[in-house]
Structure 1
Amino acid sequence: MHGVTQPATVLGRPIRVLLMLTSLHGGGAERVAVHLLNQLDPKRFDVRMGLLRKAGPYLEHVEDMDRLLVAPDGEEHFNYDGPNSAQYAPGKLIGSAVRAPLAFRRMVKEARPDVAMSFLKGTNLLAWLALMGLGEERPRWIAREGNNVLAVVEEEAPNPLIKRTSLRLTRRAYRRADAVLANSSDMAEGLVRDLELDPAKMRMINNPIDLAGIAAAKDEPIPGAPARPYILTAGRLEYQKGHEVLIRAFAASGVWRTHALVILGKGSRLGELHRLAAQLGIGEYVRFIGFVGNPYAWMARADLFVLPSRWEGFPTVAAEALACGAPLLMTDCSFGPRDVIEPGVSGELVPVDNEIALSAAIAQLIADPERRARMRTAGLKRVKRFAVDAMVDNYARLFAEMAPERVAAD
Structure 2
Amino acid sequence: MSDLLLLGIETTCDETAAAVVRRRGDGTGTILSNVVHSQTQDHAEYGGVVPEIAARAHVEILDHVIERALRAAGLGLPELSGIAAAAGPGLIGGVIVGLTTAKALALAAHKPLVAVNHLEAHALTARLTDKVPFPFLLLLVSGGHTQLVAVTGVGEYTKLGGTIDDAIGEAFDKTAKMLGLPYPGGPAVERAALKGDASRFALPRPLHGKPVPDFSLSGLKTAVRLEALKIAPLGEEDVNDLCASFQAAVVDILADRVRCALRVMRERGLKPHALVLAGGVGANQAVRRVLHKVAADGGTRLAVPPPELCTDNGAMIAWAGAERMARGLVDGLDVSPRARWPLGEIESAERGATERGATGPGATGPAD
With the shorter chain as reference, the TM-score category is 0.3 to 0.5
TM-score, normalised by the number of residues in structure 2 = 0.36
Which gives a bigger RCO, structure 1 or 2 (Cα 8 Å, sep 6+)? Answer: 2
